Each structure stands twice: as C-alpha cells, then as structure tokens.
C-alpha cells in the first residue's frame, strides 16, 4: 500500500492506494484492481477512532474533502470525534473506474467484471483497508447504498465494527426487487399527489411535456431525443430536500428554450458520467435472484395509464435504446439483468451481530421506504432509529443529522 499526506489548512489528508483481488472468493484468480481511500483528520485529532464513510450509489465515488467551507457538510461534525475514511468503491473514482473505454472488451468479459463490483466485494475491500491501517475496529456511516453495504458488512464481518450509522440506508431484507419497487411506486404515488396538490397547474405542464416527448420533440444538448419515461423520471427530484424546487423551476420554463433543454439534462437522474449507476442499479436489490428489469415489471397499472404520474429511482430497459450515453451499454445491461446474483444479506448474522448505532429513517423516503427500513432495523435491538419527516433522502447534507445520530448511539440523547 502506498501512502502520501497533504494538508488543507488544519485538515490532514492521508491518501492510500493498494491492490485488491478482483474476485475475493477465488484465490486462484490472479486479477487485481486498484483501490483508493483518503483518511481525513483535523490537527490534534490524529489519534481519534476511525469512521468509514460509504457513499450512496451504486456507481459513485466518495466525496472529496474541502475546506472553507468544509465539505461535505457533515464532515466538521464527524471530525469532532473521528478520523473519517473516504473509500472510492471499486469501479468508481480512483478505484479502477469503469467507463466506456471498458466496452472495447467483449461483452461477456465486461459483464463478468461488473459482477465483482457489488456490496460484498466493496466490504472485502474495506476490510483489507482496515487491516492495512492496523485498526481493530472502526465505525461506519452508510448513506443510501452505503447503508446497504453496511448491512452486508454486518452479515459478513460484524466483529470489525464499533458503531454503525445509517442515513436513508436500511435496505429491505428478504424482499425481491419487484416487492421493493412496488413499495417505492406507492411512495411516488404519494409524492405526486403532494406535489400536484401544491402546484395543480403543473399537471397540465407535465402532460404537455409528455406529449412533446411522445412526438420526439424534446431534444437534449447531447442529441438525446427524450422519451416519455425519461420525462417521467424527473419524479426522482421529489426524493431530495430541495428537489421539488428544481422541478418547479424547470416546469416554469418554456420547453423550446435552451434554458429548458440544459436544465432538463441536468435534472434527469441517470446519466453518462456514472454508467454503473444505470447498469448496476437494480442489482443492489438482488439478494440471491435475477432482476430482469424489475422496475419495469413492477410498475402499477395506474402509473402505466397516467403518464403524468412521475416515477422515481426506477431504471428503464428502453433507455438502453433511447439514451445515447447508455446505448453502448445495452448488451451489458441486458446480460446483467439475467444474472442470478449471490445473496448480500444474512438476517440471522445481522440479528446476532450485536450492532450498536443509530439510523435516520426518513418517513417520506421515496428511495428507501421507511416501512421496509424499520423492518430491517428491528433485527438490531442495539440500533436506535430516528424516524423523521423533517428531511428527505438527502438529509445527511443537513448539519444536524449526523450529530444527532452520534448522540443517539452513545446514549447522550433520548429519541
């Protein structure tokens, strides 16, 4: 492992690079990948315990620490009690990132490579990093998909964990992707009703946009002819604390303007910068099953009948044909949809883990529904859930979410 140190005013950033097996469970497979992580501390805090941050996704790298102002927004609070470890999950950032250039290899080679980029392998990388740092135990903060990874950690290596913190990241356990998506559609039905109740005039605007998309008259700056399902995916904005404002501002624009085209491109939830987010997204719900485009299959009849019902974090098979950034990935995505994935979670192991920590469960979360999250939380008596409607799925960005969780986990705060 190589190690370099740099300073950002009073922040110390230790950067680590090491090689890890591509296939952890096969010692005969000699293929390796690079893994990158940074450890951030404040001057005087170099001996504090470690907190591993696992990013949302899948397919997104960890945030980079910033100063003046300190970023991400929760970092100042974390550094009061921890050194924070930012791990680029394999396939992202500086950890052998996956991108269009990989498509020069045969499709089956690419598909096989991608099957080793899920939470189970990410956690093995985290364990390798922990051992290299000489740490007996550390705490973990899992945001969204990072929380899913934390549940895999508890399923496989709970002895390495001190406190566990979840923010919108308590995945369903024992549910099929179809069942999970069914609940997320229910959440989106509520989000649509709430938005249109506040802005009833925008249903007609969405209806007009759907009509333009149906006629092929909405074109993004990159040449994408926007489909009806892509317009409807704007509902994903309703899952963030300020997303409704972005949606409202977009729907106020003339759809024939440059402003609308560029703002629409920026607002759509899946894009070419992180293709893994599209091609691997459904696999994070695949606990021992194949996905076979589950979000398409699970779409309720009222959503099929009413195109003004906006959808959320639901990937569509047709985007592999209609979105220029995804067309090169079409065969890969189709093959991945047929993979029978290994199990990610062990409910008995999680229940026996003795996990201690806290979880922010967002009551209106359209990505990770509260009902499913609380069922998972019930497996861990030492986990203190904080159920709130004060924040949406992006609540970690609020300065007071993480301090509250830390205080809950340490018994300094009563729910």
User: Which residue segments constitute the domains of the chain, with CATH numbers given?
Assistant: 2-174+345-409 (3.40.50.1820), 177-336 (no CATH)
Give residue 415's pLDDT: 59
Contact by Cβ (8 Å): 356, 382: yes
Residue 236: partners with Cβ closer than 8 Å, 6 or more residues away: 243, 269, 311, 312, 313, 366
Distance between CA atoms of 246 and 215, rounded to whole angstroms? 25
| 3 state SS of 90 | coil
Contact by Cβ (8 Å): 356, 163: yes
Cα angle 220, 222, 226; round to 5 = 35
Q: Of 77, 15, 79, 90, which is closest to residue 43 (Cα–Cα)?
A: 79
Strands 356-362 and 138-143: unpaired
DSSP summary character for residue 80: T
Give residue 292's pLDDT: 98
Distance between CA atoms of 12 and 8, rounded to whole angstroms? 6
Residue 308: partners with Cβ closer than 8 Å, 6 or more residues away: 192, 203, 206, 207, 210
Cα dihedral angle (246, 252, 255, 257), rounded to 10 degrees? -90
Residue 15: partners with Cβ closer than 8 Å, 6 or more residues away: 3, 4, 5, 6, 36, 37, 38
| 3 state SS of 393 | coil
| 3 state SS of 204 | helix
DSSP H helices in 201-257: 201-214, 228-232, 243-251
Mean pLDDT per segment of 10 residues, for the chain of length 415 residues?
88 96 93 97 93 96 85 91 97 97 98 98 98 97 98 98 98 96 98 98 98 98 97 97 96 98 97 96 96 98 98 97 97 98 97 97 97 97 96 89 95 75
Give residue 313's pLDDT: 96
Q: Please name every residue paired with 161 in a beta bridge, in sequence order, or none if there are none.
A: 138
| 3 state SS of 70 | coil
Strands 138-143 and 83-87: unpaired
DSSP H helices in 54-174: 75-79, 107-114, 119-133, 145-156
Q: Please name every residue paired with 32 in a beta bridge, in sequence order, or none if there are none.
A: 21
Q: 243-251 and 258-267 are packed helices; what angle lies between their axes, rounded to 10 degrees?
A: 150
Q: Of 292, 284, 196, 281, which is closest to residue 235 (Cα–Cα)?
A: 196
Contact by Cβ (8 Å): 100, 328: yes
Q: 177-198 and 201-214 are packed helices; what angle lies between their axes, rounded to 10 degrees?
A: 120
Give residue 399's pLDDT: 74
């Amino acid at each position: 492992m190589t190690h370099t140190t740099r300073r950002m005013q009073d922040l110390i950033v230790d950067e680590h690079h090491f090689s890890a097996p591509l296939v952890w469970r096969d010692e005969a497979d000699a293929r390796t990948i690079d893994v990158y992580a940074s450890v951030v501390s404040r001057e005087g805090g170099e001996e504090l315990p470690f907190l591993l941050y696992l990013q949302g996704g899948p397919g997104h790298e960890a945030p980079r620490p910033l100063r003046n102002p300190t970023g991400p927004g929760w970092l100042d609070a974390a550094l009061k009690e921890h050194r924070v470890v930012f791990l680029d999950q394999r396939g992202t950032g500086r950890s052998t990132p996956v991108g269009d250039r990989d498509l020069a290899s045969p499709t089956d080679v690419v598909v096989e490579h991608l099957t080793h980029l899920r939470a189970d392998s990410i956690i093995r990388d985290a364990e390798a990093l922990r051992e290299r740092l000489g740490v007996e135990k550390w705490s973990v903060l899992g945001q969204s998909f990072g929380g899913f990874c934390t549940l895999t950690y508890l399923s496989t290596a709970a002895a390495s964990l001190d406190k566990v913190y979840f923010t919108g990241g308590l995945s369903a356990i024992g549910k099929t992707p179809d069942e999970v998506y069914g609940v997320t559609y229910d959440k989106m039905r509520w989000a649509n009703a709430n938005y249109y109740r506040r802005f009833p005039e925008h249903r007609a605007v969405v209806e007009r946009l759907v009509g333009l998309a149906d006629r092929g008259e909405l074109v993004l700056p990159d040449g994408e002819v926007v489909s009806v399902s892509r317009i409807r995916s704007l509902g994903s904005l309703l899952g963030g604390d300020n997303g409704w404002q972005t949606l409202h501002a977009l729907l106020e624009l003339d759809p024939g303007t440059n402003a609308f085209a560029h703002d629409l491109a920026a607002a759509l939830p899946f894009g070419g910068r992180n293709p893994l987010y599209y091609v691997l997204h459904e696999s994070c719900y695949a606990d021992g099953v194949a996905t076979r485009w589950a979000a398409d299959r699970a779409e309720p009849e009222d959503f099929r009948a009413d195109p003004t019902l906006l959808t959320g974090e639901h990937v569509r098979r047709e985007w592999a044909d209609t979105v220029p950034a995804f067309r090169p990935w079409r065969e890969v995505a189709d093959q991945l949809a047929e993979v029978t994935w290994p199990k990610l979670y062990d409910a008995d192991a999680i229940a026996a883990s003795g996990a201690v920590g806290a979880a922010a469960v967002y009551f209106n979360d359209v990505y990770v529904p509260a009902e499913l999250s609380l069922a998972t939380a019930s497996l861990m008596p030492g986990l203190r859930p904080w159920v709130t409607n004060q924040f949406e799925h992006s609540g970690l960005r609020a300065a007071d979410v993480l301090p509250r969780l830390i205080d809950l986990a340490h018994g300094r705060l009563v729910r």
